[in-house]
């Protein structure tokens, strides 16, 4: 508009074009307009580049979260253009992945319940034992996650997998003969030798599942617990006489949870012990039967153990 005004002015005053003053005036106007328009264009480009950078940052953040197993993140949709379409398609992909993951988790949980129920149906122990030990292990793990030594392992995701796989700790008992498994008294040495094979049976069954379904952290933890929850800190347990920290932490946690629940539960060969009596036996076993750190964690969360035991009582 400014340049056109000068051009119209020159049409009425042509002498200014001849002496050069008109040219200079128009040149100044064009330089001014170029600077103004250039500033606007630069501002638009800078703003657009920032928007693109922010969109790509959200995209990168979401995909990074997916690689870490978090499928609940979504990419913000800023516009109704190609970039917005990319964000929308990314979110649709994440929706699909999350649905599939939930279906897999549901299938896994059904398999756990089925296998646990199978083991339970052949044993004198009740379904409440499975629920209680599962909760005990979680309480211990959550407390020990505060220890610097165990922070890297005991992540929320690992604890969830530990909680889910704990019910399979005695799945190997399905391979023990009823004459041994259901005997209402003390086992003979030969019978106990047969009973001691159930960790191997359980681990082998889970290894077969792992072979067909592929390696997964859930199956790895379940197999670890099944195989090592009867090992003792001093190396006198079974089946491999592992000692100290050579016993996986998952097995050390289940060892205490399993023994505590056996102590406070009535069996055909013994009455139920009180919490205090069970506690004294566990404390006495610190450094021998049990990992001292796990015993310390037990003492720190013993009120939770009492609450869990009361909540998941055996049916009369």
Pair of tokens at residue 56 = 């790509």
% the chain with pLDDT above 90: 46
CB 129 within 8 A of CB 264: no
Element (H, E) at 106: helix 82-121
Looking at the structure, tell me whether residues 129 and 84 fall in a common domain: no
111 part of a folded domain: no
Looking at the structure, tell me whether residues 89 and 167 fall in a common domain: no
pLDDT digits (tens, 9 = 90+) for 276-312: 999 999 999 999 999 999 999 999 999 999 999 999 9
Looking at the structure, tell me whether residues 299 and 230 fall in a common domain: yes
Looking at the structure, tell me whether residues 71 and 134 fall in a common domain: no
Tell me how many degrees the CA angle 262-182-109 measures, rounded to the nearest 5: 65
The whole-angstrom separation of Cα 10 and Cα 154 is 83
Looking at the structure, tell me whether residues 163 and 279 fall in a common domain: yes
The whole-angstrom separation of Cα 232 and Cα 185 is 23
Domain containing 260 equals: 122-311
- Looking at mean pLDDT, say which of 19-23, 56-60, 295-299 comes out highest: 295-299
Task: Say what the pTM is.
Answer: 0.70
Looking at the structure, tell me whether residues 150 and 59 fall in a common domain: no
Looking at the structure, tell me whether residues 144 and 28 fall in a common domain: no
pLDDT digits (tens, 9 = 90+) for 68-104: 777 777 877 767 777 778 778 888 888 888 888 787 7
- CATH code of the domain containing 146: 1.10.3210.10
* Partners of 290 in beta bridges: 286
How many domains is the chain built from?
A: 2
pLDDT digits (tens, 9 = 90+) for 226-246: 999 999 999 999 999 999 999
């Amino acid at each position: 508009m400014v340049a056109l005004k000068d051009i119209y002015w020159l049409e009425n005053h042509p002498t200014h074009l001849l002496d050069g003053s008109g040219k200079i005036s128009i040149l100044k106007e064009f330089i001014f307009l170029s600077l103004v328009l250039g500033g606007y264009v630069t501002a638009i480009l800078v703003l657009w580049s920032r928007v693109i950078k922010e969109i790509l940052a959200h995209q990168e953040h979401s995909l990074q979260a997916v690689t870490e197993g978090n499928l609940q993140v979504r990419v913000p949709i800023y516009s109704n253009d190609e970039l917005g379409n990319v964000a929308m398609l990314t979110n649709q992909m994440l929706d699909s992945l999350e649905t599939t993951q939930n279906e897999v988790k549901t299938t896994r949980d059904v398999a756990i319940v089925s296998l646990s129920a199978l083991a339970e149906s052949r044993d004198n122990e009740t379904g409440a034992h499975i629920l209680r030990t599962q909760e005990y292990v979680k309480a211990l793990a959550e407390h020990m996650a505060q220890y610097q030594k165990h922070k890297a392992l005991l992540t929320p995701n690992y604890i969830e997998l530990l909680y889910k796989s704990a019910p399979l700790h005695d799945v190997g008992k399905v391979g023990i003969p009823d004459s041994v498994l259901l005997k209402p008294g003390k086992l003979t040495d030969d019978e106990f030798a047969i009973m001691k094979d159930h960790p191997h049976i359980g681990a082998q069954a889970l290894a077969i599942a792992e072979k067909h379904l592929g390696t997964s952290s859930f199956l790895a933890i379940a197999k670890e617990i099944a195989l090592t929850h009867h090992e003792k800190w001093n190396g006198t347990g079974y089946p491999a006489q592992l000692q100290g920290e050579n016993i996986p932490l998952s097995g050390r946690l289940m060892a205490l949870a399993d023994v505590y629940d056996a102590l406070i539960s009535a069996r055909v060969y013994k009455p139920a012990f009180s919490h205090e009596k069970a506690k004294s036996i566990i404390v006495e076993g610190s450094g021998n039967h049990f990992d001292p750190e796990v015993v310390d964690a037990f003492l720190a969360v013993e009120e939770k153990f009492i609450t869990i035991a009361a909540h998941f009582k055996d049916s009369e």
